Amino acid sequence: MGDARLSLSPHAGRGPNAPCRAFGKRRRSRNDDERTSADEPLRHRPLTLVCRQGVHRAVSQVWLAAFSIACTCGIPLPSSAASVFVASQDAGQLARIETGANTVTATIDVQAGPAALATDAQGRIYLSHPDHHAVTIVDAGTGRVLKRLPYAGQAFGIAADPDGRFVYVGDWKAGHVVRLSTETGAVEATVAVGKDPANLVLDRAGRLWVADRESHQVSVVDVARMERIGTIPVGEAPFALGLSPSQDRLYVANARSNDLSVVDTATLKPLATVPVGAMPYGVATSADGSRVLVTNQHAGTVSVVDAASLKLTDILKVGRYPEGIVVSGPRAYVANWFSEDVSVIDLATLSETARIHVGEGPRALGVTQADRSRQSEAVP
């Protein structure tokens, strides 16, 4: 038996261990890597099978003095500072990493099973807890947990309005997306999408892109009307989504067909399919949009795709079971679930320059809104 752990996120399959069951880690054999879609479900769910009563890791004294993180853990930040925030599902924790120093400066207990992460323009962070039927809101400036909104379904993928009035949540079990009021937690609207909605991303035009994993498509939702306005066929088991800086392209990581779909966001048509590594699980672009970075869970690598030629140009080794990825300035940050750390990649040299230890089960990442980074969402 290997020591591989399966997470509970909806990227896995359906079947006896499907999404409704507690997610977390378990012992797994090499044969798990060959699982079919019906057996994959444990991989990314938000709860911990090995329930850790004491896993509310002690908040550091630094935090007690002035921090309180959530995706943004911490002390009020100088406006020029950029921080990366890492959600660790098994630890029920968020860590804040200072991008210049590559150190964890604060952690905060956000309760069990944070899976996906989103930010708004007001400096707030949103976390989904699929197994605990909740959404947590954290103030990035003070690090305080502001609210925990109950949600009856299985919240997984998440995206926030820039003004922070609403949060959009993909219900993994029900196959729909809801719009929640961040003030009251009320479900204000619901729209049907495909099976097992995974990651969500909201563009500047007010369109919500939804990776429908078991429908092998991306749904496009007009959030003003909360109506689905299109569907786009992609590869098998689409999980992660990323927009180009100009938002003229959507990049889709297909976990089961091991490739990247490239979609024209104006025509809603697929442009190309690019082979990447085994089980692609996260997507981000460089700040200038010239490169697309894809994490490959089973390969323990990041594939680098040239955005102009749509050719694979480099493969970078990172930690074990990489999931979420974000870009902040000249660096990319990768959450390595099994090795419990974050890889730092220098985008000029395309080399891993550091590993930063974080809480157990890191999956999703985000960055401060002031930083013009691109991220996969995450996350998980």
Structure tokens at 167: 């949060």
The two beta strands, 249-254 and 238-243, are antiparallel
In DSSP notation, 144-172 reads: -EEEEEE-SS-EEEEEE-TTSSEEEEEET
The two beta strands, 351-357 and 362-367, are unpaired
Give the span between the Cα atoms of 169 and 156, in whole angstroms.
Answer: 7
Structure tokens at 118: 């989103």
Phi, psi of 200 (to 5 degrees): -125, 150
Structure tokens at 324: 């979420």
Q: What confidence tens digit (pLDDT) does each residue in 59-88 have?
A: 332 222 222 223 322 233 333 457 899 999
- C-alpha atoms less than 13 angstroms from C-alpha of 295 in its C-beta half-sphere: 39
pLDDT greater than 70 at residue 164: yes
Residue 98: pLDDT band with limits 50, 70, 90 = confident
Give the span between the Cα atoms of 223 and 190, in whole angstroms.
Answer: 10
Instruction: Tell me the domains of the chain and their CATH numbers.
Output: 8-367 (2.130.10.10)
Q: What percent of the chain has pLDDT over 90?
A: 69
Q: What confidence tens digit (pLDDT) does each residue in 214-255 have?
A: 999 999 999 999 999 999 999 999 999 999 999 999 999 999
Q: What confidence tens digit (pLDDT) does each residue in 22-48 have?
A: 334 433 333 344 333 333 333 443 332
Contact 363, 9 (CB under 8 A): yes
178 alpha carbon, distance to own chain's centre: 18
Give the span between the Cα atoms of 338 and 299, in whole angstroms.
Answer: 12
| Element at 269 (helix H, strand E) | strand 269-275
